[in-house]
Amino acid sequence: MGPGRCKIGGVTSPTAPVDTTGYPWPIETTRLANGLRVVVSEDRTAPVVCVNLWYDVGSRHEPPGQTGFAHLFEHLMFEGSQHVKKTEHMKLVQGNGGSLNATTNPDRTNYFETMPSEHLELALWLEADRMGGLVPALTQETLDNQREVVKNERRQRYENVPYGDAWLRLLPLLYPAGHPYHHATIGSMEDLNAASLETFQAFHQQYYAPNNCVLTVVGDTTPAEVFALAEKYFGGIAAVPDIPPAPDGNLPGPATEPAVETVTADVPAPRIYLSHRTYPFGTPGYDAVTVLATVLGSGRGSRLYQRLADGARIAQPDYIGSYGVDLAHAPAPLIITATAKDGVALETLQEGLADVVRSLIDEPVTDEELNRAKALLTTAWWRQVSTAGGRADTLGRYATQFGDPAAAADRLSRWLAVTAQDIAKAAAETLRPESRVTLTYIPGEQA
């Protein structure tokens, strides 16, 4: 296929000029007097509306001894607020046909519900009540209960599954002590056990402020309606002056010494994770890394699959790949993983992986590889924005992290503009063995 065959979503040749917009829907924004930024993207095709709030607070804000607090706090936001009784939040959203959730990561905390559009006002009222009125409803009993729920989440997702703690082990190897990404969002059991009610009250008062939030509404509504409702429900919440920033995430460059950790654990097969710090999400360098990760490890046409799963047949085909973790406040990690096939020595897999990673530096990416990666990324982009929820979260991200929701429209075209030279340059800068983190799991009795 050639350029011009498909106006949007098409695969263009690497040299063709790219003018693809990744966001062909309207975007309107306003800012309330208290600093709340409001983003609206109207789309009448389905009778649903998504309300999404990005609070610019994540685990990178947590001081030592308080790891896991941002995430535990996220749980407390569902347990009632000034005018919403305990358990009522979920009941009102689900009981009116909606889906809801929230997530916390190192960068930020987001809350979102997609509702039949006649319940837009209810969703805004619920969000405003917990932004402005959580503290009076917060009780020791709720904290104790949700602390146990979070500890069970930690067991279920990280402790009770083979290789489940890889992310927890990689972060401190990638980022030095004191760095905002040094610890994982789920936190430590010790810190969770020590969490006091006063800390959470203070946490809310500090960070859950209208001027630290972006409210995005996407779907079956109008900007005028949303702006008026935002003023009605959020307008009376006071701004918080002087919100302290997270510790600085700047790093002088890639790591200068490799880090190696080997874990003997109850796992079914040897597995290797390689990881490097790259560039912050949103930079040209990270766009190159995104395409690089797809060339390297996404799909059966990727180098890792073709060379190690299909070619040398030393890696299990279902457990090989690479991906970037889209973090914006410091150089974000690229993670590369492979699991040994039965009877394959760990060293063989290690050498094979290192060879494929090195190939990104000294073996230019072909047009075919590049086009394949860009086509997959194009589909992934359209999939992400195929729902009101996906669109709202995307706009909230760009408004929060780059000050402009409309910047979302450029991401796809920036990926499509990445050249083989860009990839080679990013690989040469970030994927050198001397900056590599290697985490290896070996089956055996746990030490």
Token look-up 């790591």 returns: 255
Of the candidate residues 27, 62, 68, 98, the single one contacting other proteins (CB under 8 A): 98
SS3 308: helix
Give me the least distance between CB of 395 and other proteins, in Å please. 16
**Residue 442, C-beta contacts closer than 8 angstroms, at least 6 positions apart:** 262, 263, 264, 265, 267, 270, 346
Q: Which one of the spans 121-129, 248-256, 403-411, 413-421 is the region binding other proteins (CB under 8 A)?
A: 121-129
From 91-99, 104-112, 243-251, 431-439, give the range in contact with other proteins by CB under 8 A: 91-99
85 binds other proteins (CB under 8 A): no
- Residues 6 or more apart from 242 whose CB is under 8 A from it? none
Burial class (CB in 10 A: 0-12, 13-18, 19+), 154: buried
Nearer to other proteins, 210 or 331 (CB): 210
Nearer to other proteins, 251 or 380 (CB): 380
CB 324 within 8 A of CB 277: no
Contact positions with other proteins (CB under 8 A) in 387-426: 387-389
Name the segment binding other proteins (CB under 8 A); options: 59-67, 148-156, 328-336, 396-404: 148-156
- Residues in 40-59 at the binding interface with other proteins, rule: CB under 8 A: 43, 45-48
Q: Using alpha carbons, select from 203, 99, 87 the residue that is nearest to residue 145.
A: 87
Partners of 51 in beta bridges: 113, 217
Q: Which of 65, 144, 253, 433 binds other proteins (CB under 8 A)?
A: 144
Dist CA 140 CA 163 (whole Å): 34
Tell which one of 28, 121, 231, 326 touches other proteins (CB under 8 A): 121
> Among residues 67, 341, 328, which one has the least CA distance to residue 182?
67
- Shortest reach from residue 28's CB to other proteins, in Å: 18
Contacts of residue 115, Cβ cutoff 8 Å, sequence gap at least 6: 48, 49, 50, 51, 93, 96, 97, 98, 122, 123
Please list the residues that pair with 49 across neighbouring strands.
115, 219
Residue range at the interface with other proteins (CB under 8 A); choices 139-147, 246-254, 396-404, 422-430 = 139-147
444 lines the binding site for other proteins (CB under 8 A):
no
370 within 8 A of 288, measured Cβ to Cβ: no
87: left (phi over 0), alpha (psi -120 to 50) or beta: left
Task: By CB under 8 A, name the one of 2, 26, 64, 118 that touches other proteins.
Answer: 118
Contact 23, 42 (CB under 8 A): no
Our finding on whether 119 is near other proteins (CB under 8 A) is: yes
Near other proteins by CB under 8 A: residue from 172, 247, 299, 364: 299
Site for other proteins in 223-242 (CB under 8 A): 232-233, 236-238
- Residue 19 within binding range of other proteins, rule CB under 8 A: no
Residue 269 engages other proteins in binding (rule: CB under 8 A): yes
Least distance (Å) from other proteins to the CB of residue 89?
Answer: 9
Nearer to other proteins, 247 or 301 (CB): 301
In this structure, are strands 333-339 and 321-324 parallel, antiparallel, or unpaired?
antiparallel
Query: Mind giving me the DSSP string for 195-242?
Result: --HHHHHHHHHHH--GGGEEEEEEESS-HHHHHHHHHHHHTTSPP-S-
Q: Which is nearer to other proteins, 9 or 247 (CB)?
A: 9
Residues 352 to 391: which contact other proteins by CB under 8 A?
Answer: 368, 371-372, 375-379, 382-383, 386-389
How far is CA 127 from each of CA 90, 183, 230, 233, rounded to the nearest angstrom? 12, 29, 10, 9
Which of 264, 275, 265, 283 is CA-nearest to residue 401? 283
Per-residue mark of binding to other proteins, 319-358 (x: CB under 8 A):
x-------------------x-xx----------------
Contact between 146 and other proteins per CB under 8 A: yes
- The answer to whether residue 9 forms part of the interface with other proteins (CB under 8 A) is yes
Query: Total number of residues binding other proteins (CB under 8 A)?
Result: 95
Q: C-beta of 309: minimal distance to other proteins in Å? A: 9
* Site map (CB under 8 A) of other proteins, residues 162-201, x = contact: x---------------------------------------
How many C-beta neighbours within 10 Å does residue 324 have? 19
Among 318, 347, 362, 434, binds other proteins (CB under 8 A): 318
**Amino acid code (one letter) for 300:** R
